[in-house]
Amino acid sequence: MLQEVCALIDRSERFVLTTHAKPDGDAIGSVLGFARYLQQKGKSATIITCDPPPFNLEWLHGALDIQVYDGSLRQMQAIADADVIAVMDLNAQNRMGPMGASVRNATATRLLIDHHTDPEGWFDLAYARESASSTGQLVYEIISADDPALIDHATAECLYTAIMTDTGSFRYSNVTPELHRAIAEILEYGRIDPSAIHTAIYDRKSEGSLKLLARLLQGLQIEWNGLVSYTVITNAMLQETGAHIEETEGYVNWGLAVEGVRITMLFTQTERGTKVSFRSRGDDHVHKWAQSLGGGGHPNASGAFVRKPLEETIEMVMAQAPRHLDMSDQDADQGLSDEDQEYLSMLQAGPGRRQA
């Protein structure tokens, strides 16, 4: 399959690259690293995404050249003229937002580069492996199979960012000796500064984002005999703290820091419903739980979108915990406590409407 991908790249000239909505470090690092590689081979590479990169990734080479999809004639022409459309770090049309239909119906060869479970079957060619740590690792493998000397400084920064962010700075179970060897080659060819990259991504916080994190941690809830935790972000919390939703990347992980917690969730209120982010460790897989809600992802990191109000979604999802934790209803607390109900009501109250 790797040879087929390299052959497709060699015989093609015009590429359009895209990734999922609300792109994270793996998504942005992968499309930018792949674009840089293509350009070094003399190819045309245009990146179009339905959302812009988060502010802490804007420093990456080429990030400010990413086009946000608006359905303009220029963008539709780029899609129509493309020899290849590379769809990266996603496995389903709906994860591309309004751009999805244009990509799926394109006459170009639709190339999937991804590490999520159960990809849809409409791609013409796929370089996908669920066991890969990140899409960035797969992009590295493509470049390395072609010519690792093409990993220059800018490409290396993008690939390192992609891999580092999707492995929790190399602390997740998807980190392998093979991955460390790949990182060693990226460091060797790109001569990058890992410390500076980590600082640029994780140590640049707005005042609003820190205030939001404080509010989120203050409201951390522990349920099901200490096995499950959850946190909440409401529209009122964002308004009061001045934080932006794209600054909340990684906030879900804080719920796993509590001793004894096996699964944590972050419920984010939106205008159309509730976003549910799942995280877990070890053999407590959450992707099936997310799939039951219409979402998906990885065994230990998944998500779903539920078209129900926040409070209703939390109660519904939390009630499902026993079957995903291999426990009986009789062995665990059930439903949301009165304290939880009061807490959720307080969170959803707008500024100035809270009880003293």
Domain of residue 169, CATH code? 3.90.1640.10
Confidence class of residue 324 from pLDDT cuts 50, 70 and 90?
confident
Shared-domain flag, residues 188 and 214 = no
Tell me, yes or no, whether 310 and 161 share the same domain.
Answer: no
β-sheet bridge partners, residue 231: 266
In the DSSP assignment, the letter for residue 62 is T
For the chain, the domain total comes to 2
The Cα–Cα gap between 37 and 113 comes to: 15
Q: Are residues 80 and 172 in the same domain?
A: yes
| Residue 272 domain-assigned (yes or no) | yes
- Does 228 lie in the same domain as 280? yes
**86 is a domain residue:** yes
Number of Cα atoms under 13 Å in the Cβ half of residue 210: 6
Q: Which domain holds residue 214?
A: 209-348
pLDDT given for residue 354 in this prediction: 45
Residue 294's φ and ψ, nearest 5 degrees, are 95, 10
Mean pLDDT score of the chain, rounded to an integer? 91
- What are 77's two structure tokens? 């022409």
Q: Is residue 356 part of a domain?
A: no
189 with 149: CB under 8 angstroms? yes
Residue 53 CB-density burial (10 A; 0-12 exposed, 13-18 middle, 19+ buried)? buried
pLDDT of residue 43: 98
Question: Is 354 within the bounds of a domain?
Answer: no
* 59: confidence class by pLDDT, cuts 50, 70, 90: very high
Partners of 46 in the β-ladder:
16
Q: Average the pLDDT over 123-142 and give the result.
A: 97
